[in-house]
Structure 1
Amino acid sequence: MTKILNNSLVVLLKAFAQLPFGVIYLISDFMYLVLFYVVGYRKRVVYTNLRKSFPEKTEAEIDHIARQFYRHFCDLTLEAIKLYRMTDAQLDERITVKGLEKANAYCLDGKSIILLGMHYNNWEWSASLQRIAKHQLLMIYNPVRDNQEMERFILDMRERFGGISVPVNHSARTAIQFGKGGRPGCLWLAADQTPAPTTQFWTTFLNQETPFFSGPEKIAVKTNQPVFFHHTRKTGRGKYEVNFIELFAEPAKESGENILMKYVETMENIIRETPQYWLWSHRRWKHQRPDHTPLIPRTVYNG
């Protein structure tokens, strides 16, 4: 019965992806009213995260950001589904790219790169960048548990442009493999999710003690693959500008702490500028730092 329901949902999603953008955004407007005023989807999580991240803001300012977030979240959810059937012409009309030339130059020199992203604005549409990127795009993801039908739909949606989805537990092995020869790869991962509290990298992020995955900097130092930051800026409803920002050309010359701290600082600056576009519904601060784990000061980065 569960498999039948999952298959039925996927069929509906595929049908939804055929709808024109005008209809999708009408549905999104209605979806916002339902999620915010009727269901109250994760409102306690969203408002708590915002209050702790921006203690200097008034309650009215927090409420304004929260409402903007929910409107964007509804757009983002439906835009992600739409990607399943978006044409090249639609993508070219709605996405502009900056800084890719430098990344492509590394590929022509036979060098793989690491692309650190975040759950900000519409990260899903960047799967289409394989159309113009010279590197083989390696998209790190967490497998969907107990729902193979939904996972297959998501992977088909992301891989239809030629990118390869890589389970998170295979990320290091994949980065090393693509650094040894053949077509260079671009290991793209969002490192702003919540790791286990036992991680050794804890620092202050948005006014709170926050753990971060230590994998990205370990991969960067071991492979010496240039590190880029993936920044998606919203330029209008359903329109985005993707920026490739080089953080480190030779990460092997840096400490792992420097690499992660630069990522953290870049991410925080972007979120503070337009906070409504980050994924505030995520339970980012659900862990407490263990007593034996030190808090790394933000001043560790000297770049």
Structure 2
Amino acid sequence: MILYYFFRAVEFCLMLLPYALRKAFFTGLASLAYAVDRQHRAVIRRNLEIAFGENVGEAEEKTIARYCYRNLLLNFLQVLENQRMTPQRQAELVTFANRDIVNRAREAGRPVIFVSGHFGNWELGATAIASQIMPTVSIHKQLNNPYFDRYLLASRSRLQMHMAEKHGAVKHLTRALKKGEAVSLMIDQNIRPRESIFVDFFGTQVTQTSAPAFLARKYNAAVIPVFIHTENEQHYTVRFEEEVPVPHTENAEEDIRIATQRQSDVMERIIREEPKFWFWCHRRWKGGSKGIYEA
């Protein structure tokens, strides 16, 4: 509790400052974290080796690693900013590309499942979709500290991004789709094998949630990948990718595997296009290959 109230006091002081100074504060913390956090720098290095082999030089590796810390802290700042964000201000910051992809699904009366990853300013992107396009339901993994957990929930949910507990996730998502609401899911994190299926990601096996494919097949939902991009960290573009086809054959298990692999392929393509924006400090390949992060 003491830590939480200290955080709120710091937040109060930061919010008295111009945005440029708030941003400078967090990017400064990011530089410090990069300098002292050898453990996650090693994870980033290993992930780049897995993904690109020897095709990433030392200079590019440092650029990607530095920006990974920077982007993480900017997302933390975005959580604070979202507490005060208005739809009007959000519309000034974010534009949408390929919006017709979403419109086609909605005009056909189909529910929508947005799939994305920890790429760019994902906190802004997720709430922008919910606020500016259509309300969404997403899964929330409860934090250990209940005070910070409530804070994070408030930051995300006040702009039409409704959060459901991870426990019983399929039930919550099913209810949302039946009501015609959109579902938003992150698909780029390692999860336990019993809760996932194996797919290929940069040529190596990983675990990935099959929930989007399972739900899309059952409820004829449109699986639409979406990612947020920026060139200057001042204006952002949320870009919708083409709908991921979900097969409907007599072999449901294979249909779900194929559709899940297709989502992984889109995620890989986006990362290859702009690698520095992805969350490289996560042990993404841990579930698919034992010992892959051992020294």
Q: Return the match for 1:172 from 162, 170, 173.
A: 170
- Separation in 2 of the partners of 1:113 and 1:200? 21
Q: TM-score, normalised by structure 2?
A: 0.85
Among candidates 184, 190, 195, match of residue 194 of structure 1: 190
What is residue 96 of structure 2 aligned with on the other side? 97
User: Where in structure 2 are the equivalents of 1:17-166 lying within 5 Å?
Assistant: 17=15, 19-40=17-38, 42-55=40-53, 56-107=55-106, 109-125=108-124, 126-134=126-134, 136-145=135-144, 147-166=145-164
Quote the offset at 1:11 in angstroms. 4.5
Kept in 2: contact 1:232–1:243 (CA 8 A): yes
Structure 1 letter corresponding to 2:93: R
Counterpart AA for 1:129: I
Letter in 2 for 1:29: T
Distance, in Å, in 2 between the alignment partners of 1:215 and 1:130 is: 20
Whether the 8 Å CA contact 1:54–1:207 is kept in 2: the answer is no
Q: Is residue 2:241 matched to residue 1:239?
A: no
Which segment drifts farther, 46-55 or 202-211? 202-211
2:6 — aligned with what? 8
- Please give the secondary structure, in 2, of the residue aligned with 1:211: strand
Q: Deviations over 1:34-70 (max 9, x none)?
A: 1122444621111221122211222333223222333
Shift of the 129–198 alpha-carbon distance from structure 1 to 2, 3 Å rule, reads closer
1:93-112 deviations in Å (ceiling 9; x for gaps): 22111233442454455432
| Separation (CA, whole Å) in 2 of partners of 1:178 and 1:199 | 20
The answer as to whether partners of 2:138 and 2:161 remain within 8 angstroms in 1 is: yes
Instruction: Please give the alpha-carbon distance, in whole angstroms, between the structure 2 residues aligned to 1:197 and 1:143.
Output: 20
AA matched with 2:276 = Q
Kindly state the Cα deviation for residue 257 of structure 1 after the two structures are TM-superposed: 1.6
What is the TM-score when the length of structure 1 is the normalising length? Answer: 0.83
- Cα displacement string for residues 149-183 of structure 1 (whole angstroms, at most 9, x for unaligned residues): 101111111111122111233332233223334xx
Q: How far is 1:229 from its partner?
A: 0.5
Distance 1:83 1:24 in 2: 14
RMSD: 2.5
Distance in 2 of aligned mates of 1:78 and 1:196: 29
Distance in 2, Cα, partners of 1:250 & 1:46: 32
1:55-91 Cα deviation digits (max 9, x unpaired): 1222333223222333333333323322222233432
Instruction: Assess if the C-alpha contact under 8 Å between 1:209 and 1:289 holds in 2.
Output: yes
C-alpha separation in 1, matches of 2:106 and 2:240: 14
CA contact (8 A) 2:176 2:183 kept: no
In the alignment, the residues of structure 2 paired with residue 163 and residue 76 of structure 1 have an alpha-carbon distance, to the nearest angstrom, of: 16
1:142 counterpart letter in structure 2: K
Summarize the Cα distance change of 1:17–1:257 in structure 2 as closer, same or farther, 3 Å threshold: farther
Residue segments in structure 2 that go unaligned for 5+ positions in a row: 291-295
Q: Is the CA contact (8 Å cut-off) linking 2:130 and 2:136 kept in structure 1?
A: yes
- Name whichever of 39-48 and 232-241 sits farther off: 39-48
**Separation in 1 of the partners of 2:247 and 2:11?**
41
Render the CA deviation track for 1:247-272: whole Å, top value 9, x for unaligned: 24665468112211111111101101
Which stretch shifts more, 16-25 or 28-37? 16-25
Whole-Å separation in 2 of the counterparts to 1:43 and 1:245: 31
* Partner-residue secondary structure (3-state), 1:96: strand
- 1:164 alignment partner, SS class: strand
Query: What fraction of aligned residue pairs are identical, expressed as a percent?
Result: 24
Kept in 2, the 8 Å contact 1:140–1:166? The answer is yes
* CA distance in structure 2 between the partners assigned to 1:100 and 1:197 by the alignment: 34
What SS does structure 2 have at the residue aligned with 1:243? strand
Q: How many residues are paired up?
A: 284
1:222 to 181, 203, 218: 218
CA contact (8 A) 1:104 1:133 kept: no
